[in-house]
Amino acid sequence: MAKKTKLSREQVLHIAKLANLTLTEKEVKKFQKDLSDILAYIDLLNELDTSKVKPTFQVTGLKNVVREDKEIRGLSQKEALAGTKAKYQGYFKVKAIFE
């Protein structure tokens, strides 16, 4: 039943772009095959009749979990910037982004 159709190169590159990943040629070929595993999963799940079934996005059943509008002290500037060496005068620094 599950036809193992490979995804096209374009499809793989498109997904990689969405995922912000750079792939080598080898990886592109590998993912062409690997992503088709998903298609097999889809086929399997299509056996299930879920036409009258509601999705469960939250198993807890919790509702309206909110916090009060109060200020809580967070990180200092030093702590916020501690994770990187690329900083400048209290800012995170990256190569210029052209908008």
Shortest distance in whole angstroms from residue 3 CB to other proteins: 15
Shortest distance in whole angstroms from residue 23 CB to other proteins: 8
Q: Does 5 bind other proteins (CB under 8 A)?
A: no
Q: Measured between alpha carbons, how far is 97 from 99 in angstroms, rounded to an integer?
A: 6
Q: Measured between alpha carbons, how far is 72 from 80 in angstroms, rounded to an integer?
A: 15
Q: Does 72 bind other proteins (CB under 8 A)?
A: yes
Q: What are the distances in angstroms from CA 83 to CA 40, 50, 80, 86, 96?
A: 41, 46, 7, 9, 20
Instruction: Name the site residues for other proteins (rule: CB under 8 A).
Output: 12, 15-16, 18-23, 27, 31, 34-35, 37-38, 41-42, 44-48, 50, 53-60, 62-77, 79-84, 86, 88-97, 99
